């Protein structure tokens, strides 16, 4: 069960009408290394991971949903007042044809989200290393998105999200250490 707080994890300000960025931001919305993929991946892996690290997956997955909400807010703000012509100029014509102004889980090239982006091997190390890789890929994606916009307000929110990926990657690395050490085991010397 979750308790919803009706505010964003970090404020999202968009200071510039740059519809083109909405399209690129969707890489983090419905892309292979986006927030949706991350949230669903961890939320599903948590059932078959040793008890001690379930909480890590649960907490990070929950936070990824909060990030998803931030990305959605950015895309929504950028596209809500755009005319059809403006959307077309920004490369979002095909999106409009299928979805009007609705948001959808596409990547930046318009490819719809698929569960094939994520994995659950049932092996704790295999799964956790995938999660670490996912965090680093998301961090890199945020860097390229920060590079692509000159809107300092948008950059500010994206920098926050990028830093969270770095913290998450460390938490998964710590989970790996907990799995390796297995402090439950009695050792006789």
Partner 1 sequence: MESQLRRYTPFRGPFDPCPPVPFKTYVVPPNQFITFQPPDLPQFSLQEALKYGTLWPALFSPYESKCKGGGK
Classify 184 as helix, strand or coil: coil
Q: How many CB atoms lie within 10 A of CB 47?
A: 10
- Separation between Cα atoms, residue 80 and residue 101, nearest integer Å: 6
Query: How crowded is the C-beta side of 114, counted as CA atoms within 13 Å?
Result: 5
Q: Is 107 helix (H, G, I), strand (E, B) or coil?
A: coil
Kindly list the catalytic residues.
35, 64, 67, 135, 165, 168
Q: Which of 138, 134, 171 is nearest to 71 (CA)?
A: 138
Using the rule CB under 8 A, which residue among 84, 115, 133, 170 binds partner 1? 170
Candidate residues 51, 143, 179, 183; the one interacting with partner 1 per rule CB under 8 A: 143
What letter would DSSP give residue 47? G
168 is in an annotated binding site: yes
Residue 111: exposure state from Cβ atoms within 10 A (0-12, 13-18, ≥19): middle
CB of 177 to partner 1, least distance (A): 5
Candidates 38-46, 94-102, 123-131, 154-162; binding stretch for partner 1 (CB under 8 A): 154-162
Q: Which member of 149, 179, 183, 189 binds partner 1 (CB under 8 A)?
A: 149
Kindly state the smallest distance separating residue 1's Cβ from partner 1, in Å: 26
Q: Which residues pair with 112 in a beta bridge?
A: 106
Q: Is residue 46 part of the contact set for partner 1 (CB under 8 A)?
A: no
Q: How far is the CB of 136 from partner 1 (least distance, A)?
A: 8
> Pick from 65, 104, 105, 160: which binds partner 1 (CB under 8 A)?
160
Residues near partner 1 (CB under 8 A) are: 10, 139, 142-143, 146-152, 155, 159-164, 166-167, 169-170, 173-174, 177
């Amino acid at each position: 069960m979750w308790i919803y707080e009706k505010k964003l994890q970090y404020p999202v300000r968009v200071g510039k009408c740059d519809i083109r960025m909405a399209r690129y931001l969707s890489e983090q919305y419905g892309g292979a290394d986006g927030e949706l993929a991350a949230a669903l991946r961890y939320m599903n892996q948590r059932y078959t991971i040793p008890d001690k690290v379930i909480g890590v997956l649960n907490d990070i997955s929950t936070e990824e949903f909060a990030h998803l909400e931030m990305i959605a807010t950015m895309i929504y703000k950028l596209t809500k007042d755009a005319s059809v012509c403006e959307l077309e100029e920004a490369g979002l014509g095909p999106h409009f044809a299928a979805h009007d102004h609705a948001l959808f889980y596409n990547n930046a090239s318009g490819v719809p989200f698929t569960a094939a982006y994520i994995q659950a091997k049932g092996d704790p190390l295999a799964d956790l290393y995938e999660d670490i890789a996912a965090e680093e890929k998301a961090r890199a994606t945020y860097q390229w998105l920060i590079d692509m916009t000159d809107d300092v307000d948008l950059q500010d929110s994206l920098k926050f999200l990028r830093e969270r990926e770095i913290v998450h990657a460390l938490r998964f690395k710590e989970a790996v250490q907990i799995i390796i050490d297995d402090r439950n085991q009695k050792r006789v010397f």
